[in-house]
Structure 1
Amino acid sequence: MTHSHMALKEWASAVQALEQGEQVLIMRKGGIREETRDFRVVSDAFYLYPTYEHQKPHLIKDSAQPRLQETLDGWNPDDRQVTISSWAELVRDIEISDGETLEKLQPFHIWTETFAEERLKWKRKQPLHVMLLRVYKLDKPVTLDVDPSYEGCKSWIELHGELESAGRTPVLSDEAFRAAVDRVEKALADGGPVNGA
């Protein structure tokens, strides 16, 4: 018997950064074919579904280029299977509507300023969601067949397969995660960014 599980689609390079504890946030404004026309948080706990086709080198910081290349080296656009290796809990959903606030987050993620600005400016009337995530690695990654419902420019999908038995281990200790979140929140509260994770 198979079950449905909610998943959030994200660039494979960002999923890898989350899984390695190098960042604790992602930014969202929704896919082109978002069912609700704008991004909505539909679950506060979900699997991370890695995507590859929209990753662009010029939108990722130089320091993260090796990670990007690593994800692309192992990707075949004709592959009809996907490996799920992490699960996340939403700790805080921060809505941002101005570039000054967004700039304070620049040390805390792998994307360039250009990427962040483009995300903010697209559908200008809608805020950018900055999601702080507590990420867990699955003790044993699960490979699933790619269902047609997974495809397309949308944020949320329902995975079909045996995932409920997969054990999970937090990427960061409670103390390290709290410190990472504190750095992000302090940067937003202060006049500028501090050392990022």
Structure 2
Amino acid sequence: MSLSALKEWDTQAQALALGQTAVILRKGGIMETHDGFEVEHRRFLLYPTFLHQNEVELRSEFRPLLRPDPAPGVLTLPAMAEVMQVWKVEDLGRALTLEPFQALNAAAIERRFHYRNRPWLHALLLRVSPLTTPLELEETPEMLGCVSWVPLPGVSVPESGVPVMPDADLEQLRTRLNALLLPD
């Protein structure tokens, strides 16, 4: 099985791995196709990135997680994530209702929603399990750039622990998000 990693701001990767959130909002990196972000993998490693991480776009309760890159050139993958549900959100009002469920503030959500003058974004509900031992890899030139997905050829699936958020809580969150995001 080929393994991939999803790049996400380090602060958000930490919040996911700690169980502080289970939702991320994605639009796509500048090097991705015209169509932007797509959910290419249902199970992947979290790839914490420090590139473009912006304190002013984080909700205040997540700002204490900000840190400089602890080991430039070394990639530390903290957790495995599994996509439970994806919503394509094409209404800004609905997108803004997601603010309490993830790390970005309303201004960042709105900026991502309108990025490239295409009004939409994806919301992903994730089941996250920390790796029993974080996976450390050398960050190669092929891993760099503004892309979401990074293939990890030759990397076997690492052992992960118990999900940070119980299934009952994730199902409750899914129900709340469906009520907010699905058409009436």
Per the TM superposition, whether the score is higher than 0.5 is yes
Gaps of 5+ in 2: none
Supply the distance in 2 between the matched residues of 1:57 and 1:123 (Cα, whole angstroms). Answer: 22
Q: 1:175 matched to which residue of 2?
A: 168
Residues 139 and 169 of structure 1 are in contact (CA less than 8 Å); yes or no, is this contact kept in structure 2? no
- How big is each residue's C-alpha offset from its partner over 1:11-34, in whole Å with a ceiling of 9 and x where there is no partner? 010011111111111111110001
Aligned residues: 184
Supply the distance in 1 between the matched residues of 2:146 and 2:41 (Cα, whole angstroms). Answer: 18
- How big is each residue's C-alpha offset from its partner over 1:67-105, in whole Å with a ceiling of 9 and x where there is no partner? 12xx32x535xx211111101111111001121111211
Q: 1:90 matched to which residue of 2?
A: 83
Supply the distance in 2 between the matched residues of 1:60 and 1:112 (Cα, whole angstroms). Answer: 5
- How big is each residue's C-alpha offset from its partner over 1:9-58, in whole Å with a ceiling of 9 and x where there is no partner? 00010011111111111111110001465211111111110001211111
Find 2:32's aligned residue among 20, 31, 34: 34
Supply the distance in 1 between the matched residues of 2:168 and 2:32 (Cα, whole angstroms). Answer: 36
Note the 1:10-29 alignment, pairs <5 A. Answer: 10-29=8-27
Structure 1 residue 142: Cα displacement: 1.0
Q: 1:60 matched to which residue of 2?
A: 58
Structure 1 residue 147: Cα displacement: 1.6
Supply the distance in 2 between the matched residues of 1:19 and 1:186 (Cα, whole angstroms). Answer: 25
2:122 aligned with 1:129, yes or no?
yes
Structure 1 residue 162: Cα displacement: 4.1
* Residue identity (%): 32
Supply the distance in 2 between the matched residues of 1:21 and 1:185 (Cα, whole angstroms). Answer: 20
Q: Which amino acid aligns with 2:70?
A: W
Q: Given the superposition, is the C-alpha separation of residues 21 and 182 from structure 1 closer, same or farther in structure 2, using an over 3 Å criterion?
A: farther
Residues 144 and 161 of structure 1 are in contact (CA less than 8 Å); yes or no, is this contact kept in structure 2? no
Q: Normalised by the size of structure 2, how large is the TM-score?
A: 0.90
Q: Normalised by the size of structure 1, how large is the TM-score?
A: 0.84
Supply the distance in 2 between the matched residues of 1:22 and 1:185 (Cα, whole angstroms). Answer: 20
